[in-house]
């Protein structure tokens, strides 16, 4: 067994690249890489990096990806529906709403609805089929773009095997949870292939009921010794009762209604088709040319029942949630519903040239990308109506050209530097053909042809270094320009006025030291800073700020913090043939408005300068203890602490009656997992208990009320390979 540890900014995660890893070697797949294998092993990336390999994922036994992401320092993960169907990741104090500040990739390909104009994640690749998770927060992220403010998350699925191989993975748990994954692959002559199918469902994961299917195929074709083609096809289909409505404060305080289905007819179907093809050609021993083309469509038609906080609302069903005797403490369900029907399309081609020597790696490339969004809003006449009267129609389009160059040079045996530059050019327009506008204070629905268009150019530089202080001890650092394009959907106000939207810019820097001392002790310490000229604070229903005063411009913000972690294998230190690993990491962040910014509250203006940013806890801690025998059995106990958070810019402490604002108290969640592998057979058994102590806590006050964290979940699993 080769036992490796990959250092993460403030976290150290055991990586076991075991030769027994299902005794299956994979065919190299030509696809976009975030980290090379050398980088993963030797931690040569000049910045904060986290890698979770397949064996580590098996030991954690996650029900969904949120469980993995929240173990990585600097990442605040906010649960929405409790099933991880739509992840909300905030990096180093950035707003986690819809993960719009993070570039999320699957096998190197973006998964956001529209990477430029609408980078929200209404689709998240299921963790059940992933073999590796990579997170990059340093200057190297300018290679990928367009989002470079927060970080890059790359989810990697299995590649075709060298020999015939089949996998069956089954997990069952409380709440009717079932996850079934099956795959078959082989390499015949010069063609390798892998096909997989995942079905995942639950009847009562908290308040969520869902059923999803994921079908994927990968093909690797060696055209010659110099040329290779990789092709990937996929279909994702999901049905869930996801909703925006949450508990009022009175309902939460009373208890007994944590997972109540308040809008039982709400329905969210998501369907996604995706295709990618990569051609890799070795021009010589030093030169390589890669071309990648990808396209995907995402359809998201969301039916949600209307409700009001006013007892005087018309068209009420008679169903009331909460306490009507408390002002604002009740929700009145209405007889109508809204259908938010949206379809998104993305197509791109990228060409990259690599020049690699023993001391240098130069990468240069260009990407052309086109994106489109078609949106309709229909009003249904009853809560379960499947159609309705047309209210809104609009189209959003964008075209982008990206140019980049990145050079990594070994100056000496101890010093390695990298410098890079990315240029983004983005043309976009929003065309509203029918909409609801505010005219003289009155909402009017009318046919129209309101168009807003603009273009921008952004220059994004970055650089970093690695310096070996001693054997196993490395000093690293970097600085880069953070950039996020403006959301096309914000280009026109509710009054029909076209806006000249501002892009989001920051300067991100970090300085750290990592130590890999033998096989038993690893540690890392990273200092970081992000200074925003104008951070975009989401103004949307999903962020809970749909009725906020003003636009999404949050003004100047400052994020300063430290990430630290260590891991020690006591058994290996004592030269035992088993492992006993103690690991802990922590993140401390000060994320605040750093300039005057006024918010209208009633008849007053309140300056929120120095206030903490919403959903930006100052302290997050992970710790774990893991025992693993030489024969492949073990047990793991882990904990996750998240400090207090504010739900709004005013840093409101006392909860409002509707539950949408107020302090989110700190919490500590404990998970337990056990695993056993039959030494002579490729069979793995697992047991996972999530939220072992059954802690009750508020996970979020977004979008429209309190979401209670998922209670204790027990999951049994078995994996067989042959």
Q: How far is Cα 285 from Cα 282, in angstroms, rounded to an integer?
A: 7
Q: Residue 518: is it exposed, middle or buried by C-beta count within 10 angstroms (0-12/13-18/19+)?
A: exposed
DSSP alpha helix (H) spans, 519-634: 570-573
Closest CA to 218 of 153, 133, 129: 129
Report pLDDT for 454: 87
pTM, full prediction: 0.91
Report pLDDT for 19: 35
Q: How far is Cα 317 from Cα 329, in angstroms, rounded to an integer?
A: 18
Q: How far is Cα 264 from Cα 305, in angstroms, rounded to an integer?
A: 9
Dihedral (Cα; 667, 98, 638, 171), 10-degree rounding:
120
Contact 364, 420 (CB under 8 A): no
Retrieve residue 452's tokens.
């807003």
Contact 210, 201 (CB under 8 A): yes
DSSP 232: E
Report pLDDT for 21: 41
Where is 56: in which H helix or E strand? helix 54-60
How many structural domains comprise the chain?
1
Q: Tell me whether strands 713-721 and 75-77 are parallel, antiparallel or unpaired.
A: unpaired
| DSSP collapsed to 3 states, 593-626 | ECCCCEEEECCEEEECCCCECCCCCCEEEEEEEE
Report pLDDT for 17: 30
DSSP alpha helix (H) spans, 157-269: 249-254
Q: How far is Cα 664 from Cα 653, in angstroms, rounded to an integer?
A: 8
Domain extent at residue 42: 2-721
Give me the sign of the Cα torsion angle 652, 711, 690, 216.
negative
Closest CA to 708 of 664, 677, 642: 664
No. of helices (H) and no. of strands (E), the chain: 5, 38
Omega of the bond leading into 703 within 30 degrees of 0 (cis): yes
CATH at residue 633: 2.40.170.20
Regions in the chain scoring below 50 on pLDDT: 1-23, 38, 40-42, 546-551
């Amino acid at each position: 067994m080769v036992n490796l540890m990959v250092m993460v900014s403030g976290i150290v995660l055991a990586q076991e690249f075991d030769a027994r890893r299902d005794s299956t070697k994979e065919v190299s797949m030509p696809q976009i890489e975030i980290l090379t294998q050398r980088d993963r092993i030797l931690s040569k990336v000049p910045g904060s990096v986290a890698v979770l390999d397949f064996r580590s994922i098996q030991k954690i036994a996650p029900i969904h990806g949120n469980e993995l992401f929240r173990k990585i320092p600097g990442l605040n993960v906010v649960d929405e529906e409790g099933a991880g169907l739509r992840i909300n990741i905030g990096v180093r104090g950035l707003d986690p709403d819809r993960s719009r500040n993070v570039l999320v990739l699957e096998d190197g390909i973006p998964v956001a609805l529209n990477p430029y104009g609408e980078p929200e994640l209404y689709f998240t690749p299921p963790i059940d089929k992933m073999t590796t998770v990579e997170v990059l927060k340093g200057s190297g992220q300018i290679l990928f773009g367009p989002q470079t403010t927060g970080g890059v998350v790359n989810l990697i699925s299995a590649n075709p095997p060298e020999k015939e191989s089949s996998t069956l993975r089954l997990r069952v748990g409380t709440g009717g949870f079932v996850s079934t994954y099956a795959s078959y692959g082989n390499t015949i002559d010069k063609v390798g292939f892998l096909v997989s199918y995942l079905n995942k469902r639950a009847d009562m994961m908290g308040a969520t009921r869902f059923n999803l299917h994921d079908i994927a195929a990968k093909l690797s074709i060696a055209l010659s010794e110099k040329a290779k083609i990789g092709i990937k096809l996929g279909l994702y289909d999901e049905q869930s009762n996801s909703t925006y409505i949450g508990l009022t404060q009175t309902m939460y305080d009373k208890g007994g209604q944590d997972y109540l289905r308040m809008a039982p007819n709400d329905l969210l179907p998501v369907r996604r088709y995706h295709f990618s093809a990569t051609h890799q050609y070795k021009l010589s021993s030093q030169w390589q040319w890669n071309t990648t083309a990808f396209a995907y469509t995402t359809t998201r038609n969301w039916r949600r029942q209307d409700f009001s906080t006013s007892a005087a609302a018309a068209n009420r069903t008679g169903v009331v949630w909460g306490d009507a005797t408390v002002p604002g403490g009740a929700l009145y369900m209405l007889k109508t519903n809204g259908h938010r029907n949206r379809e998104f399309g993305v197509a791109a081609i990228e060409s990259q040239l690599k020049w690699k020597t023993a001391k240098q790696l130069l990468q240069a490339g260009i990407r052309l990308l086109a994106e489109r969004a078609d949106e309709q809003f229909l009003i249904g006449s009853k809560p379960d109506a499947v159609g309705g009267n047309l209210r809104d129609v609009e189209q959003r389009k964008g075209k982008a050209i990206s140019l980049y160059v990145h050079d990594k040079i070994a100056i000496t045996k101890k010093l390695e530097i990298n410098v890079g530059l990315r240029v983004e050019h983005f043309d976009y327009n929003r065309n509203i053909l029918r909409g609801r506008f505010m005219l003289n204070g009155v909402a009017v629905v009318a046919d129209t042809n309101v168009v807003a268009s603009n273009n921008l150019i952004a220059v994004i530089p970055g650089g970093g270094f690695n310096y070996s202080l001693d054997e196993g001890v490395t000093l690293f650092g970097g600085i880069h320009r953070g950039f996020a394009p403006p959301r096309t959907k914000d280009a026109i106000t509710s009054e029909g006025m076209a806006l000249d939207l501002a892009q989001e810019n920051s300067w991100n820097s970090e300085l750290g030291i990592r130590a890999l001392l033998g096989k038993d002790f690893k540690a890392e310490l990273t200092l970081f800073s992000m200074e925003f000229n104008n951070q975009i604070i989401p103004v949307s229903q999903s962020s809970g700020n749909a009725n906020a005063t003003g636009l999404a411009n949050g003004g100047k913000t400052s994020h300063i913090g430290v990430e630290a972690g260590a891991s020690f294998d006591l058994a290996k230190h004592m030269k035992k043939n088993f492992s006993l690993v103690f690991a802990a990491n922590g993140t401390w962040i000060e994320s605040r408005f750093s300039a005057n910014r006024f918010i209208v509250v009633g008849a007053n203006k309140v300056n929120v300068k120095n206030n903490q940013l919403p959903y930006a806890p100052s302290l997050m801690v992970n710790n774990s203890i893991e025992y693993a025998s030489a024969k492949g059995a073990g047990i793991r106990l882990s904990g996750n602490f998240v400090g207090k958070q504010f739900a709004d810019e005013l840093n409101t402490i006392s909860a409002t009656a509707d539950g949408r604002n107020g302090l989110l108290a700190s919490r500590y969640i404990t998970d337990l997992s056990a695993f056993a592998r039959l030494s002579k057979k490729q069979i793995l058994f697992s047991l996972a208990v999530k939220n072992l102590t059954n802690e009750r806590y508020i996970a979020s006050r977004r979008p429209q009320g309190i979401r209670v964290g998922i209670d204790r979940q027990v999951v049994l699993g078995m994996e067989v390979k042959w």
